[in-house]
Amino acid sequence: MTGQILIAGAGEAGLAAAITLRELGYPGTVTLVGAEPEGPYQRPPLSKEFLTAATPPAIPELRAAQFYAEHRIDLVRGTGVRTATWTRTGGVAGLGDGRELPFDAMVLATGSVPLPLPVPGAGLPGIHRLRTLADAHALRDQLEHATRVVVVGGGFIGLEVAAAARTKGASVTVVEAADRLLARVVAEPVSRFVREHHAAAGIRFLLHTRVTGLVAADSAAGGPRVGSVVLATPTGEVRLAADLVVVGVGARPVTELAAHLGVTDERGIVVDAHARTADPRVVAAGDCTVQPHPRDPDRLIRLESVHNATEQGRQAAHSLLGKPHPPRGVPYFWSNQGELKLQIAGLSDDHDDLVVRTDADRCTVLYYRSGALIAADSVNHPRDHLTVKRALASAATIDPARAADPAAPLKTLVTPLR
């Protein structure tokens, strides 16, 4: 195709789509519109080294400014695409700054936003969330002075922030409604390993505990500010003192723009395995999408990872230009929580068996379905992670009977799938 391709959302997915369009030789206009003031940057460091570095680190840009000029990518920053409509001659996008941009095809790469905590007091100063560079700067500033930090949510971002706050010397409590950490994504042995590691570093965990309110401190200099967190525990209501609260209870896909184009449902922007929506002029990629599960295409899943965002962004570009699609790789994710490095390869949600390999310092859980390896979570075990990733990429499996021995190198147990 020729003409004008408009990419809404200048994150990992949007940038990957823009770069791939140029790599594939697309000659037309590529406009990458991002609502944030910065050009595309990496989000993962925001909850990790960005919070703990002694001096404020530089913006973790994905590409330097001249890259966009060299590749003829028109980067529009600091304003979002508010509306998108089809006319008889093509699409018209209305930007937040009042401009109108025509387009022939659109890439929706609008990401996700943190879910709010739906309790009284959630808007008090001193309560933070973490998605953007601006959020990270604000949180970093607060962490300099905070002494009692409460993290609401024992997911990846919550645990990364908790580890960072502990490194900075604060007393840290993580409050989690489920009965274990990371319950949506890893098996119980990994949850336990992670909790024990953080507990040994001094982080306190309140599991099976809900936050029901946030209350201002009695007399805070400079105006009202959070002073305590109200908890519903199995034994009744409790108040926990806090001078900084970080909420990490999940994120919702940004679908407002997609709704204008009629390609969304309540779970996200619905795409196929190649990032195509029901409208051939519109593709979508990254955290804003739901896509078919690779083993069960009738089930739509949301993958929130850098790997998925970049891969779907590339798929989206191929789809728009009608090019043969590159193969999808093995999904992977990582989370650095202080000294602890958690790595996930593959999708484990439909496993029917698992094998645990653990010793004092590290832990790997291998997931199987119908006897075949489908995924693994590794904590502080990059070698196991790499072996599993390679095995999955080459349609191999790992002998479950022998994998439980942590002394047996996994790579010696890899066999082709029969």
Ligand X SMILES: Cc1cc2nc3c(=O)[nH]c(=O)nc-3n(C[C@H](O)[C@H](O)[C@H](O)COP(=O)(O)OP(=O)(O)OC[C@H]3O[C@@H](n4cnc5c(N)ncnc54)[C@H](O)[C@@H]3O)c2cc1C
333 forms part of the interface with ligand X (CB under 6 A): yes
Pick 114 or 121: Cβ nearer ligand X: 114
Distances (CA, A) of 124 to 128, 174, 216, 226, 243: 9, 19, 7, 6, 11
Query: What span, in angstroms and rounded, lies between the C-alpha atoms of 77 and 115?
Result: 24
309 forms part of the interface with ligand X (CB under 6 A): yes
377 forms part of the interface with ligand X (CB under 6 A): no
Binding track over 266-305 against ligand X, x by CB under 6 A = --------------------xx----------------xx
331 forms part of the interface with ligand X (CB under 6 A): no
41 forms part of the interface with ligand X (CB under 6 A): no
111 forms part of the interface with ligand X (CB under 6 A): yes
9 forms part of the interface with ligand X (CB under 6 A): yes
306 forms part of the interface with ligand X (CB under 6 A): yes
91 forms part of the interface with ligand X (CB under 6 A): no
Least distance in Å: CB of 289 to ligand X? 8
Binding track over 228-267 against ligand X, x by CB under 6 A = --------------------------x--x----------
Least distance in Å: CB of 331 to ligand X? 10
Residue type at 371 in one-letter notation? G
Give the up-direction half-sphere exposure of residue 206: CA atoms within 13 A in the CB hemisphere.
21
**Residue 107 host element (H or E):** strand 105-108
Least distance in Å: CB of 279 to ligand X? 17
Pick 306 or 398: Cβ nearer ligand X: 306
Kindly tell me the number of DSSP H helices and DSSP E strands found in the chain: 10, 29
Query: What span, in angstroms and rounded, lies between the C-alpha atoms of 390 and 306?
Result: 19
SS3 233: strand
Pick 335 or 397: Cβ nearer ligand X: 335
**Residue 167 host element (H or E):** helix 156-167
SS3 193: helix
Query: What span, in angstroms and rounded, lies between the C-alpha atoms of 118 and 106?
Result: 34
44 forms part of the interface with ligand X (CB under 6 A): yes
Provide φ and ψ at 264, rounded to 5°: -130, 160
Q: Tokens at residue 204, please?
A: 């306190």
Nearest to 305 by CA among 327, 284, 286, 283: 286
Least distance in Å: CB of 116 to ligand X? 15
194 forms part of the interface with ligand X (CB under 6 A): no
For binding to ligand X (CB under 6 A), which residues are involved? Answer: 8-14, 33-36, 43-44, 46-47, 80-81, 109-112, 130-131, 157, 254, 257, 286-287, 304-307, 309, 333-335
